[in-house]
A and B are shown apart, each in its own frame.
Chain A
Amino acid sequence: QQQVKQSPQSLIVQKGGISIINCAYENTAFDYFPWYQQFPGKGPALLIAIRPDVSEKKEGRFTISFNKSAKQFSLHIMDSQPGDSATYFCAASRRAGSYQLTFGKGTKLSVIP
């Protein structure tokens, strides 16, 4: 059972455009939703995270939008740059649990000049 569904699998965006990656979850007990960024040959690294008590969180060009009723959250990358080209993973976990992260399958983003 896939608890976090991520789409699209791959995404090509022009430099300066907006990249949007979507995730949906099933377990209503999830209460922490991080996004991890992975560059080729590297391990994933935390990019930005949100708790369900807010509907949006912004850090620089990166924004998470969260819709609790729809059980969906998305990552928006504004003014996308070639340096943003990476694989992005959404994830979810429960504060009341063991801090296990359930990851989506990932989105490979390519930003072309």
Chain B
Amino acid sequence: EAQVTQNPRYLITVTGKKLTVTCSQNMNHEYMSWYRQDPGLGLRQIYYSMNVEVTDKGDVPEGYKVSRKEKRNFPLILESPSPNQTSLYFCASSPQAFPGQGYNEQFFGPGTRLTVL
């Protein structure tokens, strides 16, 4: 089944304890992205990746890191989580990353609900 998977689905942690949220897609997509969803603020992009070893900041990158060593995986790293990073996080992927190749549907994972105490 074609899908985007995220782990863990739920995580409660404490301030300053490093954590990683994994994201994996089995559709051979080039483009991957991380969003956070907060009430009243909608979906805001954290980081995105156009392909392996190519990443760039989205709208709210502060406090986050990403890496793209393999095409299928795009982990989100919080080196020193803070309570304002409590949120619902979504990973998404799209088939193509470059202009002129049509419009891309983004496929979203099921989400990771993170609570930082």
Contact = CB atoms under 8 A, between A and B. Distances in A.
A9 B99 CA distance: 32
Interface of A: 6, 9, 32, 34, 41-46, 49, 51, 89, 93, 95-101, 103-106
Interface residues of B, number: 31
A64 to B, nearest CB: 14
Nearest to B92: A43
Given A43-B108, A98-B48, A105 B103 contact: no
B41 A105 contact: yes
B41 A99 contact: no
A47 B110 CA distance: 16
A93 B103 CA distance: 9
A71 to B, nearest CB: 18
A91 to B, nearest CB: 8
A105 B97 contact: no
A99 B96 contact: yes
B74 interface: no
